[in-house]
Every structure is written in structure tokens, then in C-alpha cells.
């Protein structure tokens, strides 16, 4: 029979895993979104930015997967249905847009702002082990920094 302490430990583990899996799924969605946008962008600066973001999200996915493996859990291997639906909406929106690069940039800004909020929500859920907190905090910081980089791209697009 499990003790209250063991139950609490298991519950904490389960909550940590759920948070990491959620971030991982959204990271896959973001990476796929950047790759999709990269195919449609025309401005060379925007293309470079999108490529960098896709590579960054791929690294994030590896970091989150590694953290889950260290917790003896199997990481998710793909993004969400919601992410697929969002990319479809983005494709439809771009098809009717007169300035595809501007539409792509707007989606990037919206997506990065949403990502920062998601990271903040995960960090507020509970205290994690230091190595988990460090991964989440570092990734959030890099996403926030990318918002600053987008501002300079707005001037170029």
C-alpha cells in the first residue's frame, strides 16, 4: 500500500511529465509551423529567421525529450491536431493575403507571444526540480528574445 508521501511524489512526477509533454507537443507544432512558413516566405531575411526558429524549436524538442527520458517516461513524438488546424488556417489566410511575408510575420509574432505565455503558465503550475526549471526558463527566455528579433524583421519586410 502506498503511503501519502509516495502518492504525493507520484502525483508530482505525473504533473511534471504532463507539463513537459504539453510543452513538447507545442514545440513540435511550432517547429512544423516555422517549416511551413519557410516554404511560403519570399523575403530572404524572413526565410533565415524562420529557418533559425525551426532549428531552435528542434533543439527545444530534444531538450524536453531528454528530460522526459531522464524521468523514465516516453516522450511524445509529434505535435497536436490543434497545431495542424492552425497551420491549415495560416495557409488559407496567406492564400488570400496580398503580402504573404507580412501575414507570416504577424503569425510568428502571435505564435511567439502565445509560447511565452505557455512557458509562464507551466512555470507557475508548480515548483519543478532545478534541472527542469532551468530547461523551461531557458527556453522561455529564448522565445522572448526571438520576439525582439521579429521587431527588427518588421522593418525589413
CATH classification at residue 72:
1.20.1260.10
pLDDT at 1 over 90: no
Tell me if 68 is assigned to some domain: yes
Q: How many domains does the chain have?
A: 1
Residue 144 is predicted with a pLDDT of 94
Convert 97-122 to b/e letters by CB count within 10 Å (16 or more is b): eeebbebbbbbbbebbeebbebbeeb
Tell me if 5 is assigned to some domain: no
What pTM did the predictor assign?
A: 0.85
**Residue 15 belongs to domain spanning:** 11-155
pLDDT at 152 over 90: no
Tell me if 3 is assigned to some domain: no
pLDDT digits 0-9 by tens, 93-138:
554 556 788 888 888 888 888 899 999 999 999 889 999 999 999 9
Amino acid at each position: 500500500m502506498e503511503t501519502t508521501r509516495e502518492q504525493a511524489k507520484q502525483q508530482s512526477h505525473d504533473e511534471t511529465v504532463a507539463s513537459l509533454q504539453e510543452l513538447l507537443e507545442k514545440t513540435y507544432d511550432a517547429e512544423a509551423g516555422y517549416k511551413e512558413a519557410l516554404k511560403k516566405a519570399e523575403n530572404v531575411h524572413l526565410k533565415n529567421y524562420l529557418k533559425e526558429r525551426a532549428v531552435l524549436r528542434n533543439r527545444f524538442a530534444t531538450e524536453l525529450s531528454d528530460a522526459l527520458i531522464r524521468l523514465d517516461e516516453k516522450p511524445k513524438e509529434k505535435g497536436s491536431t490543434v497545431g495542424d488546424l492552425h497551420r491549415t488556417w495560416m495557409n488559407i489566410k496567406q492564400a488570400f493575403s496580398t503580402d504573404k511575408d507580412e501575414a507570416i510575420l504577424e503569425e510568428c509574432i502571435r505564435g511567439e507571444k502565445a509560447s511565452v505565455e505557455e512557458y509562464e503558465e507551466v512555470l507557475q503550475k508548480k515548483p519543478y526540480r532545478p534541472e527542469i526549471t532551468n530547461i523551461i526558463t531557458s527556453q522561455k527566455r529564448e522565445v522572448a528574445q526571438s520576439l525582439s528579433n521579429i521587431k527588427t524583421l518588421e522593418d525589413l519586410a
